[in-house]
Structure 1
Amino acid sequence: MSSNTQLFFIPIVFGGIMIPIVLRNTVKEILRGLRKQNNIQIILGMTPEYLAILSAIELSIAGILGTICGSILSTPFAQSFYNFLVSTQGIHQFPLMTIRFSFQAFLITLLLITIVTLYSGYISSRRTFYKIQKDIENINVKNKDRFYYLKVVFMLILNISIVAYFLSLSPERLGINSFGTLSILLIFSEIISISILINVCGKIILLFFSKIFNTISNRFSLSLLNLATYSINEHYDTFKKIYIPITIISIFVSGFSSLLIDLPDGGDSGTRTSNMVIFLSAPILIALANTICMMLLLQEKETFEIKQLFILGLRPLDIFLKKVFEILIYSFTMLLISLMCNFMLSLMFVRITQLFNKTMIWLNIWLPSLLLSLAIFVLMSIVSMIKVINTKWDILEFNIDTDI
C-alpha cells in the first residue's frame, strides 16, 4: 500500500454496506417509539408538519449524542485495531502508526450525522403522520407493501443470475487470471444480494417454520410450544430486528472464511486472521450494536407480555420454557436460512477450487453457521432466564389506601 491509512477504507466500505441492511429496522423502531408519543397530538389537532419537525429534532439529538460518544471511543479502538494487525503481520507489512483524535474529522462527522438524521427523520415522520391523519379522517387503515412479492422475485432472480453466471463457461473464456479478480467481486456481490434477500423475505420463512412447529405442538398436545408459535406469529418483527442481522453476519463469516482459506492467495494463518478482522470487524460490530439496541427497545414489550402471562395463570417456569421454545424456533429458522444460503455460496467455491485445482474445505462454510446459531440460542435463553428471574411477581397484590 502506498499509505497504511488505506487499510481503513475496507472497514468503512463494508460497514457502509451493512448499515442500511442491518440498522434499518432499529431506526424504524426508534421512529415508531417517537410517533407513539405524538399520535395522540394528531388526534387532538396538531399538524403533521410540526410533529415531523419535532421528531426529526429528537432523532438528531440522539444522533449528536451518539456521534460524540462514538468519536471519543473511536480513537482508542482504531489504535487497538491497528496494533493487532501490526502484531500479526509485523512492522514490515504495517509500519507503526499512532492514531490521534482529529477535531476536524469530529466536526465533519457531527455535521453529516446531524444533516442525515434531521432530513431522514423529517421525511419519514412527515409521511407517516400525514398517513395517520388521513387514516383517522377516513377510518381506514392499510399497511401493506404492494411491491413486496415483486421485491422477493427480483432478489431471487438476481441471486440465481450471479450463481448461474459463475457456474457457466465464462471462466474458461476469460482465463483463470482475469476470472480470479472477477470471482471475488461476484462472491462479494452474492453475499450482499443474499443478505438483502434474507432481509426482504425472512418473515415468510419464519412464519413457514412456525406453522410446522404449530402442527407438531397440536399433534403431541404441547401447549407451551403452541403458545410460542402463536406469539411468533403475532410478534414476528422480533426475528427481523434481532435474528436476521445475526444470520447475515453468519453468512458473511462463512463466505469470507472460505474465501480467505480455500483460495490460493489466502496466505498464512496470520494473514487470514488479519484479513478476517479487516473485512468483518465493522459488520460484526454493527450487528452486535443492533442486537443490543433492539433488545433494549423491546424490553418494555417483553416485560408486559411476561406479566400478562403470569396474570393468566402461567408459572414463571412455564413462561421461561415458552420463551425458550420461541428462541428455539428463531434459532432453528436462522440456522436453516444460513445453511441454505451457504449452499449457494458453496457452489461458487467448488467452482473456484476446481479452476485452481484445490480441494473445497466444507467445514469453513458450514461450521460458522452452526456455532453462531448455537451461541445465539444459549445467549438469548440466558437473557430470557434473567428477565424472568428479575420480574416482580407481586403484580396481583393490590394495595387499597383508605382515607379516614
Structure 2
Amino acid sequence: MLSPITLLLITAALCVVMLFVLGSLARSGMAGVSAWRAANVLAFVALLLYAGRDTLPGPLTIEGANGLFALSIAAIHVGFRQFFGQAVPYRLLAAGWLATVTGVAFFHYAIDAIEIRTVVVSMFHGLVCAAIGVTVLRSLSQARARYPFYFTAGVALLLALGHLGRGLMYALQPDMQTAFYQATTINLVFLSVGTVVLPLLTMGAVMMVHDRLLAEADDRANRDYLTGAWTRRALFQMAEHELRRAQRHRHPVSLLVLDVDRFKQINDSCGHAEGDRVLVDLVRRAGAMVRDIDCFARLGGEEFALLLPYSDTAAAMHVAQRLRQLLEQPEPGALTMTAYTVSIGVATLDRDEPFSALLGRADAALYKAKHAGRNVVRLAETASACG
C-alpha cells in the first residue's frame, strides 16, 4: 500500500510540474496566473513540511505546514477571482486563515488533538473549494468552451464535499485518526483529497487560460485590424450558422449592406488618415446601437454589412433608417471632423436561399440607393422577383 509520505512527495512533485506549466503562461499577462503560481509554491513547501513530520520541529510541521497549505488554497481562490475580474474577498479569506491557524495552534499546545486540528483545517479547505466552484459556475458566460469550466467547478465542488466529509467524519468518530501517517485505506483516501486539491485546481485554471487565449486569438483573426468590425470571413461563418438555424426554426433574418457616400472624395480632399477615422467612427457608432446577436462586419474598403437575426423586413428597414440618421449627424467630440453619410441596401431571407444570394440582393439594393441620390435606404427585390 502507498505510504502517506510517498503520497505527499508525489503531490509536491505535481506542484512543481504545475509551476512549470504556469511559467509558460507568465508572458500571457492573464490575470490570476501570478496568484496560482504563488499557491503552488506555498503548497510545495507545505507538503515537504508535512512529509518531514518525524524529523522537523513540531511548529514547522503542524502550524507551519497547515498555515502554508491553507494560505495556498486561499491564493488559488484569489487567482480565480482575479481571472474572472471579480472583487477578491481578502478580509474574509484572511479572517478564515487566521481562525484556522489559531485553531491548529490551540489544539496542538492547549489541547493536543490531531482529530480536531483535522476538522478545523478541513472546514477551511472545504469552504474555500466550494467558493471556487461557485465562482467558476457563475462565470460560465465568459466561456468559449464550457468543458474547462465544468471540469474546474466539478473538481472544486467534489473536493469541497471530500474536505467537509472528512471533517465531519473525524468530528463524529475522532478515534478513526489515531496517527497522521497511519497507512489505512480511509486515511489515505482523505489525505489524497487534502493534497491533490492544488494540482487539480491548477490544471483546471490552466485549461481555462488556454480557452481564453484561444478565444482571444480567434477574435483577433476574425476582426478587422483598423475598425474592429468582424471580417468578411467571420460574417460568412456566422451567417451560415444563423441561416441554418433560421431555416430550421422558421424565424426571419435580414441583412443590411451600407457604403460610405463619396468616400474617395474624402480620401482625396482630407487624406487617407481622415478616411480611416471616418471608418473607425462609423463602426464605433454603429456598434453602439446594434444588438449582441447582430453581426456588424467590414466587407472591404468602405463597405459594411449588418446581419440581423430574428428581424423581418419592417424591423430591418427601421434599423437601417435609424442607422442612416445616426451617421448623418456629426457627433460632438467624434474621432473625425468630416461629415459623412451612408447609403443602405436591405434584404430579408427568402425561403431557402443561400447567404451569397441574400448578400447579392442587399448589394443590388445598395446600388439602387446610390443611384437614388445617396444617404437613402432601399429595399431589395424578393428572391423570386430576381429570377
Q: Which has the higher helix share?
A: 1
**Whose radius of gyration is greater, 1 or 2?**
2
Is the pair's TM-score, using the shorter chain for normalization, greater than 0.5? no
TM-score, normalised relative to structure 1: 0.22
Q: Does 1 or 2 have the higher relative contact order (CA < 8 Å, sep 6+)?
A: 1
